[in-house]
Amino acid sequence: MKLSDFDFDLPEGLIATRPARPRTSARLLLAQGDAISDLHVRDLGAVFRPGDRLVLNNTKVIPARLFGTRKRGEAVAKVEVTLLEPAAAGGWRALAKPLRKVLVGEEIAFSAGLSTRVVEKSDTDMRVEFNLAGDAFEAALQEAGLMPLPPYIAAKRPADAQDQTDYQTVFARHAGAVAAPTASLHFDAELLAALAAKGVEFTEVTLHVGAGTFLPVKVDDVTTHKMHAEWGQVSAAAAAQINATKAAGGRVIPVGTTALRLIESASKDGRIATWEGPTDIFIYPGYRFQMTDALMTNFHLPKSTLLMLVAALMGKERMGRIYAHAIAQGYRFFSYGDSSLLIPDERDA
């Protein structure tokens, strides 16, 4: 299985730099087996059935891009810090510009009374520890930081105040992600309430999306690719809800690849168990899904592991037809783009 098998040509103009407004006005490609329909997210109430269970990732994106200063004697220098993920040894892994000029033990001061100390450094990144923790850290970070927009958006425009809202789901609860679970950005309170009134049920899980989600695959044989690890949690209550839906014959539908990867990590032999810890699950064609019946997801980058996941669910040839249709119809791609609902077997539609 070659990396080139997952390549396609995407017109530059289809890369979204702002989301649809309102959120539910985004377009929705519905793929039911081999059938493709063009809808909008607001139409989901006509697609989902009573007893369906949507699995939502309630991670909260932190404004991880910080601009500060370091001081040596009378000399003051600017430093840009981008948080990557919580470090196993405590604190955060982070990037810095310029990294080579930052010293271990040095303090970098930001606005809002926030500062960090460099405790370790490698050739590529560093580990830092902040002067604040808990709610105080989150509040100061919210004031001092900018949203860490994906590189394909950041290359086109800088982050601004609007991204603080746009790049956060309405059910974000647990801070720790540096990238959004973007399929979930299409939901608002009104749509969630309408789906609940129809009998659609919801389960929340947590997977803190790391910056590694944007790393390119660098091997030609994709089966040898090593995924980055991300921390996730499936509570006992969440596992019980999902198992009950399966037992009752309902469909389990993760919203986004992050929720899918987490519930598949926690599942075995058709049942899901509690989970807490890192997962580096890599899903590509040939994978046998344990828990997922369908998937709501945005449109992904060429040669990406997320495109491979979609191909695993829908089949590679079918995935190619879905993406060709999306491009021909002018769907908007990537994090702020339009969405799709992928149901592998038309008999389940």
Domains of the chain by start residue, with CATH: 3-61+166-348 (3.40.1780.10), 65-144 (2.40.10.240)
Peptide bond into 22 cis (omega under 30): yes
Q: How much is the pLDDT for 346?
A: 56
The amino acid occupying position 336 is Y
State how far the alpha carbon of 135 is from the alpha carbons of 139, 142, 147, 171, in Å: 6, 10, 18, 18
Q: Which residues pair with 121 in a beta bridge?
A: 126
The residue ranges of DSSP E strands in 208-311, in sequence order, are 230-234, 252-254, 267-268, 271-272, 275-279, 295-298
pLDDT (tens place) for every residue of the chain, 349 residues total: 899 999 999 999 999 999 999 999 999 999 999 999 999 999 999 999 999 999 999 999 999 999 999 998 889 999 999 999 888 888 999 999 999 999 999 999 999 899 999 999 999 999 999 999 999 999 999 999 999 999 899 999 999 999 999 999 999 999 899 999 999 999 999 999 999 999 999 999 999 998 777 778 889 999 999 898 899 999 999 999 999 999 999 999 999 999 999 999 999 999 999 999 999 999 999 999 999 999 999 999 999 999 999 999 999 999 999 999 999 999 999 999 999 999 998 544 4
Query: Does residue 86 have a cis peptide bond before it, meaning omega lies within 30 degrees of 0?
Result: no
Spatial strand order in the sheet of 295-298: 35-40, 27-32, 339-343, 295-298
Give CA–CA dist 331/41, Å, rounded: 13
Q: Is the overall model pTM greater than 0.85, yes or no? A: yes
Give the pairing of strands 174-177 and 59-61.
parallel
pLDDT on residue 212? 75
> What's residue 166's pLDDT?
97
Distance between CA atoms of 232 and 273, rounded to whole angstroms?
13
**Among candidate residues 145, 129, 118, the one with its CA nearest the CA of residue 60:** 145
First-last CA distance in the chain? 30
319 Cβ neighbours under 8 A, 6+ residues apart = 307, 310, 311
pLDDT of residue 112: 84
Token pair listed for 125:
């990144």
